Structures are given as C-alpha cells and as structure tokens.
Amino acid sequence: NAGVTQTPKFRVLKTGQSMTLLCAQDMNHEYMYWYRQDPGMGLRLIHYSVGEGTTAKGEVPDGYNVSRLKKQNFLLGLESAAPSQTSVYFCASHARGVTGELFFGEGSRLTVL
Amino acid sequence: DAKTTQPPSMDCAEGRAANLPCNHSTISGNEYVYWYRQIHSQGPQYIIHGLKNNETNEMASLIITEDRKSSTLILPHATLRDTAVYYCIVRVDPSISGTYKYIFGTGTRLKVLA
C-alpha cells in the first residue's frame, strides 16, 4: 500500500506562474484535505473534500483552487503563484467514521520567487 | 472551535518517560483529542487518540483529565528516534464544521537526550 502520495515533492515557481499539486490515496478514503505549513507553525487547512465531486474552503483558501473528480485524487491548484505561497503543502485523508485516523503524505515543498 | 495549548519545547533523557501536557479547556463533549508527531519536515504521524477514557497503544499512553480540559501524552521509554514535534489536536465534529476539522497548534518540540 502506497498510502497517500504527493507529487511533485519539490517545485520552484516564479511569481505569476501556475501549477497543480496532486494528491493520490489508495485507501478508498472519503475525506481528503490540503494543509500548508509555514516555518515554526502548525498546519493550516486550505481546502477539503468530503467525497468525490465535493470541495469546500478551509481556514486559508485564498489563492488556491481544488478539484476532486475521482475519489482517489485531490488536486490543489495555484493559478497565479505569489511569494506568500512559499510553504510546505501536506495532503491528508481518512475514512468515514467516528474515529478515522488522518493519514498524511510526505509533503510538497513549494518556493515562489 | 476548541484550541490547544502546549509548551513550545521539552527535553527528556533517553530511556525515561516523556510526559507531554496539553490544555484544551474549551473542548466540547463530542470532540476527540488526537496526538500526532512530525519528525523533521515529514508528514505528521498518528500516535493515539481518545474521548474520555485513558488510552494505551504500542507507541504511547494518553491520559485525559475527568473534566477533559487537559491531557498528557506519555512515551514510556523515550528513544532518540522520538525526537520530534508533537501536536495535540482537538477534532471538531462535522455537524458543526461540515467536516472533521483537525485544529493544529504549534506543538511541543521534544528533544530526547542521550
């Protein structure tokens, strides 16, 4: 089992460029999340999805878009990257249920110049 | 949303028990307490969770006070590999937020000393 896989793991962008981060999970999980982590801080929720075809905003959604066309994939898009979006991005997923454990990917480190 | 307060850092001698405290004084009755840890910049790793009762698994023990306003994660015999940032998280019920919302604080940086 691969678990939660994020691609790419590293990326450098110029201001104004666009890109998409892909999160794939092979555990048939309904819930998927995108977080960002800035130096010395905890994780902040960007967007989430409670099932295929659904998405919703988290704490810090501005500048990001997401899509969940397939149950196993959750895409995070930056339409026009800004230096403030330099961060480490984590995808997570869990099954439906009262005490579903949250499984994380290994992170994607994004630098916007 | 319930929030957590943890000390920013702690040291522990190798082989000794590490006791990591967490305050969550605004926790609601149906909100679970979860503990995760993050080693270097890897993805956070699940440790344990609980609602009211104390819990134990192969990694750690979780002690929750009777009023549920605080909890302690216990690593019974800390090793150098336990050096990490430990996050105490309150999970908000989806009936309130639309999804299970895991609220991360800044965590406790535990350093296990040889």
**pLDDT tens sequence across B98-111:** 677 888 888 999 99
pLDDT, position B11: 97
A60 is written with which tokens?
A: 């810090």
- Chain B partners within 8 Å of A48 (Cβ): 99
CA distances from A106 to A35, A112, B11, B49, B73 (A): 12, 20, 26, 21, 24
Name residues 33-52 of chain A within 8 A of B (Cβ). Answer: 33, 35, 40-45, 48, 50
pLDDT, position B1: 59
- Chain B partners within 8 Å of A89 (Cβ): none
Please write the tens of the pLDDT for every residue from A21-55.
999 999 999 999 999 999 877 899 999 998 999 99
For β-strands B108-113 and A73-78, DSSP reports them as unpaired
pLDDT, position A65: 96
CA distance A16 to chain B (A): 26
- Written in H, E and C, the secondary structure of chain B is CCCCECCCEEEEECCCCEEEEEECCCCCCCCEEEEEEECCCCCCEEEEEECCCCEECCCCEEEECCCCCEEEEEECCCCHHHCEEEEEEEEECHHHHCCCEEECCCCEEEEEEC
CA distances from A13 to A18, A110, B11 (A): 8, 8, 38
Q: Is pLDDT above 60 for B50?
A: yes
Please write the tens of the pLDDT for every residue from A50-64.
899 999 998 899 999
Please write the tens of the pLDDT for every residue from B60-91.
999 999 999 999 999 999 999 999 999 999 98
Region B17-23: mean pLDDT is: 97
In a mutational test of the A interface, the residue from B51, B100, B104 whose CB has the highest number of chain A CBs within 10 Å is: B100
- Chain A partners within 8 Å of B46 (Cβ): 101-103
A16 touches chain B (CB under 8 A): no
Q: Do A107 and B102 touch (CB under 8 A)?
A: no
